[in-house]
Every structure is written in structure tokens, then in C-alpha cells.
Structure 1
Amino acid sequence: MPLTDSNEFKKKLCHIYNEVSKELFGFGTILLKATIDNNMVTFQARHRRSPRSTALEGEAPSLKYEVDFYMSSIYKKRIREKLEQDMGLAIEAVLRDYDPHTQWAITNIIVVDNERTTE
């Protein structure tokens, strides 16, 4: 499925992003915006702070950092699977950066550019 820069398409993308968030963390995002530029989808998301995360931060900061890293890796895997299955997108790469102090995450989804692959 080609990327379409329409509100309806972006709503579907955001819905899937929030589904994955709810599946992994138990709740969705506070703020979420999807933008599309050529063959890239960018999600700008502010996540809710988990009570478990706050507890770990005070008692075992290095463990919290490690958990954040692994949860972000799992998030990338799940968002790829859902977007490929539910939206029919052929994904080349999922890049995600998460700042645990502010709870902001930027996720870039690079979709296979069919024109580039046929050259």
C-alpha cells in the first residue's frame, strides 16, 4: 500500500501506534502526531509515565534504563508487524528514539520505495 498524506490514513496510523502502546504499557499516549514525507512516516508521541517506571527510577536507575531500552526495541518490532499486517505497508526500517526523562518518543518508519527498488 502506498503512503497517502490524508487525515484518514494518518488517523489509522495513530490508532495502530496507540494500540501497540496499550498492549505493551496498558495505556495510550498523551500526545500523538503522525506526519508523512515521501516514503517516511514520523510519529511524535508523548507517553504516560508508568508507576512501575517511576519506582524503578528511584530504586534501580540502571535497571530502568535497561527496561526502557528493551521496551523500545519491542515497540519497534510490534509497530512494524502491525503496520505490515493491518496497513499492508512494506517497511524497510523502524527507527525510534525515546527520552525517558520527558517521555517523548520519535519514531520514523521508512517504507520501501518501489521506484527506488526498481532502478
Structure 2
Amino acid sequence: MRNPKFLAPTSTIKRMIAQFCNEISQEMYGLGVKKQRIELYDDKIIIFGQHKRVPALTALTGKYGDLTLTVDAALVREYKERLKEYLEKELNLQVLTILKDYDPNTENAFIAIYLKKPLSIHDGLPAS
């Protein structure tokens, strides 16, 4: 897959997405992203990241495994909703679906964003 040419440079779009992902993490977890890499491909955006686990969830994992799994699932869902809203309202992207997974043992995360159409030169422009 090849990256299309953007009116806004791909580095700018990647930076905007990275900054917002960090904002979401700080708002929801009180912790920023440790490390992330964003790749743009036709009708997909892939985000590889490393996120510090919320200390309270780490403390509960051993005794309350089912509870932490439920809370983790709810947090992932909320994160995806916030990310989708940002991509659609601020970057004018039409999101088909967002898939996200997080491994609390390694603190690695993966987000796959499927768009309704391939990225074009108009994407990444502020909404009017």
C-alpha cells in the first residue's frame, strides 16, 4: 500500500493524531502515552503504542480479574468513541470502524482505523 499525497503533510496529520491520542490517555487515565508510531495506508490508519497501565487496575488484577477485564473493555470502548469523534470532526475523516487492543502485561497497544474511503488531498484539513 502506498501513502497518498496530502494537502496537509502526512507528518502533520500523524502529529495531530498522536497529540490527540496522548490527550485522550491523559484525560482518561491520568497518564500520557509512553511511545507511539502512526502509519497511514490508503483507507487505514495504524497506531502502535505503549501505554502505562493505570496503577489502580494493576492493584486489582490479581484478586478481581473479571472486574478489571470489564473495566478494561469499557475504557477501550470510551477511548475508541473519543478517537472516532476527533477524527471525524477535526480531521474530516469518515471512519468505518476502529479496532483497539491492549496487553496489560507488556503495556503494548494496537489501534486499526478503517476509513470509509481512501485518504485524499482534502483529509487532515480543519473542519469548517
Q: When the two structures are superposed, what TM-score results if normalisation uses the length of structure 2?
A: 0.81
- Higher helix fraction: Structure 1 or Structure 2? 1
Q: Which consecutive residues of structure 1, in runs of 5 or more, have no partner in the other structure?
A: 115-119
Give yes or no for contact 1:92–1:112 (8 Å, CA) kept in 2.
yes
**Runs of 4+ residues over 2 Å off in structure 1:** 2-5
Q: Which consecutive residues of structure 2, in runs of 5 or more, have no partner in the other structure?
A: 119-128
Distance in 2, matches of 1:21 and 1:52, equals 15
Q: How many residues align?
A: 114
Match of 2:42 among 38, 45, 70: 38
Aligned-residue RMSD, C-alpha: 2.0
Q: Structure 1 residue 82: deviation in Å?
A: 1.3
Match of 2:26 among 22, 29, 33: 22
- Report the counterpart of residue 76 of structure 2 in structure 1: 72
Q: Using a 3 Å threshold, how does the CA distance of structure 1 residues 40 and 97 change in structure 2: closer, same or farther? A: same
Give yes or no for contact 1:20–1:75 (8 Å, CA) kept in 2.
yes
Relative contact order, higher structure (CA 8 A, sep 6+) = 2
Q: Deviations over 1:41-96 (max 9, x none)?
A: 00111101211011111331211111111111111111101111111111111111
Distance in 1, matches of 2:101 and 2:5, equals 22
Is 1:90–2:94 an aligned residue pair?
yes
